[in-house]
Each structure stands twice: as structure tokens, then as C-alpha cells.
Amino acid sequence: MRGTREQIRRIPKTELHQHLDGSIPPSTIWRMMRRHGLNPVRDLGAMRKLLTIQEGEEGTLLAYLDKFHYPLWITQFYENIQEATEAIVREAARHGVKTLELRYSPVIHTFAGLTLRQAIRSVLSGLNHASRRYGIDCGLIIIAMRQHGPHIAKILARQAISEAQHLHDRTGVVGFDIAGPERTTPPRLFREAYEVAARGGLGVTAHSGEEVGPEVVWQTIEDLGVSRIGHACSAVKDPALLRRLARDKILVECCLTSNYQTGAVGRNEKHPVVEFVEKGVPVAICTDNTTVSGTDQTRETLLLRRYFSLKDIARIHSESRQHSYILKRPRPSTR
């Protein structure tokens, strides 16, 4: 197993679905907590239990999201966000990630006075520094939280465009996303925000099908015009939907560990990624939240070994790179 793990670690990897808030290394959070005199527990070990899903806490999305509270204590300050971003990229590089799209909801990082632009620029500053240092292609996806409503989503889409990678000669915003409670916020409510983002040259993805049925995944495709979908676990229940995803090459951002932890996939069930691949649906192997889920890209990729050969796994990572929004952003003219 150790030899296989090392082979997996060396595979060039593509990470298309990783949240900043849920992926800050615990040691980085602990250091920042102590710097600000905010540490709620006595040592790093106890802090890890607050940040990472523990035995007995799995099974619901609510319990999973509860782990995001403490990082928000320290990600309200520009320097902290920049430092946290660099730490995430450093960890990704250790596991062979060559293309990294980090995603982030700037609104929830403005409680201490940062403007939306500052909240976005803090991440981009960290990505620019770390991208050069570790040789990783990086980009930022801006998330609008469903519970904040359609108007905030439109504001975020416009702000995201102002920092778009194709408008600047540096790492920038490459995509737009919505996340949060699916049951009470149908995709159609965010149609205008997605139209703004798409017209501004951003790639569009959406969390969908994690806690609702395939009918909502259909709505996400039809109403928002997405080229990728985060999770989409329920899509395997609808053969016609699988055919649509395969036909239109709509990539599913698969997050195996977190799907089991949130109950989106039953612990004894085969993960939908297998059927996606068998039906010709493009997939990416993603970590979602490395700290909350207690995982990394090597571990997530290693989970595929029970289903696929090393050659097939390397191909999945290679092909998913072609769906990266980073690669689709035209560079500014040098003339």
C-alpha cells in the first residue's frame, strides 16, 4: 500500500473543488488564534477536534458545516487570509497538485471591516505569491451563498468580474458558484447572477444534487447554464440526466470523503464517481475541505484505486484539467 500511495502522490493532479475556509491547515489556524488571543481550547490537538469531523459527527450536512465556524474568527483580516491561502497551496503542492482552483465566499469575511474587493484581493494575493513559489496554476472561484439571496449574488458576480483573470496579468478570479441550502432556494432565483458572470467571461459551476434529487440538478443545468456541477450525487438516479451530462461534457466535481461524511452517499454505497465514469460523464477528483474532512489530494485519489487502475486515475486527473476555468481564460495581449 505504501508503494501505491507514493505512486498516487506523484501523479500530476487537478483540484477543481476546494473551499478555502474548510482547508486551512489546523496548525495555521492555531497559530493565528494564539496571535489574536482567540484560541478557544488549550492545545492544537483539541483545536483539531473542533475543525475536523470526528467519529459520531458524520451523517448530515449541518454537522459538517458546523466545522466552519472557528476559521471565520481569524479569516476577517487581510494578512491572515493571504497567509492561509499560501498555506493551502503549499499543502496542495506536497500532494502533486498542478492545477488548483480555490473557492471562497467573500461576503462572510467582511464582518471586521474588509470590503468585498479587499476580501477577494487577499486571496488573490496569496494565490499569486504561492503560485510562483510552488509552480501551480491557480485561480479563484467566487461563491454566492444561497441564503444571502439573488441580489447579493448579482453584486458578487459583478465584483468577481472586476478581478477576473482575463482582465489582469496575474492570477485572478476564474469562476462563479453558488453554495448553501438547496431545498429552499431553487436555481432559477440566481439566473440573473449567472448571466452576469457568464457575460463577464467567468466559468460557471454550482453546488447541486448534494442534498436534493436529480430534478434540481436538471434545473441547475437548464436555468444557470453551468459547465460543471459540484457533487451532483443524486444524478445517478436519473439515466436521462447522466446522458445529458455526458453529451454536453458537463463535468462533475466529485468529493468522495465529504460525500460520505455529509450523508450525500451512504457509507456502504459505491460512490457515484464510478457510474459517472462508466457512463462517460467527465469527472474531477476533489477534496472539498481538506481540514474539515481530514483528507488531502493523495488520499482522495487513493480512494479510486479500488475501482480504477493507476493509468485510469492519471487519465482522469489529466482530462479534468481540460475543464479548468484557468485554462479557458485568455491572457492579456503583450502588444
- Please list the pLDDT of the chain residue by residue as tens digits (335 residues): 556 888 999 999 999 999 999 999 999 999 999 999 998 999 999 999 999 999 888 887 778 888 999 999 999 999 999 999 999 999 999 999 999 999 999 999 999 999 999 999 999 999 999 999 999 999 999 999 999 999 999 999 999 999 999 998 899 999 999 999 999 999 999 999 999 999 999 999 999 999 999 999 999 999 999 999 999 999 999 999 999 999 999 999 999 999 999 999 998 899 999 999 999 999 999 999 999 999 999 999 999 999 999 999 999 999 999 999 996 544 433 33
Pick the CATH number of 2-321 from 3.40.50.200, 3.40.1350.10, 3.50.50.60, 3.20.20.140: 3.20.20.140
Judged by DSSP in three states, 299 sits in: helix
Q: Contact at 8 Å (CB) between 237 and 216? A: no
Q: Contact at 8 Å (CB) between 108 and 147? A: no
For the chain, the distance separating the N- and C-terminal CA atoms, rounded to the nearest angstrom, is: 52
Q: Which residues are catalytically annotated?
A: 210
- Predicted local distance difference test score (pLDDT) of residue 258: 96
Residues in the chain, overall count: 335
3-state helix, strand, coil in the chain (%, to 5): 50, 15, 35
Domain boundaries, the chain: 2-321
